[in-house]
């Protein structure tokens, strides 16, 4: 059984076997790469007042590097520089440890299979396996339903998630993420790539955020561009952002190399 792309199963369910662990890592946007892989993106964000007037804008340079990858999780280093009004501000470096279900350290994951579903993308019907994934920890509980096809790239084609308060059970956010274009030709840093497009809609009592993004499987972090709009509960534009890939580097996954070679394959593209 494919346990997901989704999980370090160290508590709620039995640990996966070696083959399953390999599948989980391959489906993760960072887990299939080797230590030292990285990407740099530039994010432009604009904020608006209730009358639709631009109030401020900022440009963020974000570099994410893969510090460690294990059978259970990845460790990422995030370096952020924000430019506001001509001033560049360096934020404190962040270290993020994340399991393959998206859980953080201290959270637990449980997974159960559901009935298969048909997912339609651009008129093409795809039979998908479906699982429910529950992440518990702290004050929140997240429950997701995942539709996936092991034969495709990407494997995960649809994800519906609900975030709720663990104590009261009150829903605090809902999100739907769907692949809507497969085998899309993209020009990335001067090279032709084959990728896919994703649409995500997040909703809470304060409004909604819609993001459309292009992904390339062979690039660390996958996302090479996105456009996002946040609306308040009255449907007014609050924030708008765009993201573009600036540069990246790939280190071959050490678990997939022949030990005798003892080398990593390095590939960098940038401007």
Instruction: Select the more confidently predicted residue: 188 or 13.
Output: 188
Q: What CA–CA distance (Å, rounded) separates 146 from 119?
A: 11
Q: What are phi and psi of 22, to 5 degrees?
A: -60, -40
Mean pLDDT in residue range 203-219: 97
- pLDDT of the residue at 11: 31
DSSP states of the chain: ---TT----SSSSPPP-HHHHHHHHHHSTTTTS-TT-EEEEEEEEEEE-TTS-EEEEEEEEEEEEEEEE-SSEEEEEEEEEEEETTEEEEPPPEEEEEETTSPBTT-EEEEEEEEEEEEEETTEEEEEEEEEEEEEETTEEEEEEEEE-TTSSSSEEEEEEEEEETTT--EEEEEEEEEEEEEEEEEETTEEEEEEEEEEEEEETTEEEEEEEEE-TTSTTSEEEEEEEEEETTS-EEEEEEEEEEEEEEE--GGGS-TTT----EEEEE-
pLDDT of residue 262: 29
**Averaged confidence pLDDT in the chain:** 86
Which is higher by pLDDT, 126 or 25?
A: 126
Candidate from 127-131, 178-182, 225-229, 252-256 with smallest mean pLDDT = 252-256
Question: Which residue(s) pair with 94 in the sheet?
Answer: 78
Mean pLDDT of 32-60: 96
Query: What residue segments make up the domains of the chain, in order of their start?
Result: 18-270
Question: Can you give the pLDDT at residue 24?
Answer: 59
């Amino acid at each position: 059984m494919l346990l997901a792309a989704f999980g370090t199963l160290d508590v709620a369910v039995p640990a996966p076997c070696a083959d399953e662990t390999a599948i989980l890592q391959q489906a993760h946007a960072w887990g299939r790469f080797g230590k030292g892989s990285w990407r740099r993106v530039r994010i432009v964000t604009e904020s608006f007042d209730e009358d639709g007037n631009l109030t401020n804008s900022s440009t963020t340079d974000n570099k994410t590097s893969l510090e460690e990858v294990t059978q259970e999780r990845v460790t990422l280093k995030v370096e952020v520089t924000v430019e506001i009004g001509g001033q560049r501000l360096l934020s404190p470096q962040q270290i993020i440890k994340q399991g393959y279900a998206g859980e953080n350290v201290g959270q637990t994951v449980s997974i159960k299979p559901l009935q298969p579903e048909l997912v339609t993308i651009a008129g093409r019907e795809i039979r998908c396996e479906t699982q429910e994934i529950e992440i518990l920890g702290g004050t929140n509980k997240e429950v997701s339903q995942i539709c996936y096809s092991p034969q495709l790239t990407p494997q995960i084609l649809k994800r519906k998630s609900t975030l709720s308060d663990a104590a009261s059970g009150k829903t605090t956010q809902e999100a739907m993420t769907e692949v809507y274009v497969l085998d899309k030709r993209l020009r990335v840093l001067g090279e032709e790539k084959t990728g896919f497009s994703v649409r995500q809609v997040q909703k809470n009592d304060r409004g909604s955020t819609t993001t459309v993004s292009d992904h390339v499987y062979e690039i660390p972090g996958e996302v090479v561009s996105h456009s996002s709009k946040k609306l308040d509960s009255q449907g007014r534009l609050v924030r708008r952002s765009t993201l573009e890939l600036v540069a990246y580097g790939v280190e071959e996954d050490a678990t997939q190399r022949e030990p005798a070679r003892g080398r990593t394959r390095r590939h960098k593209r940038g401007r």
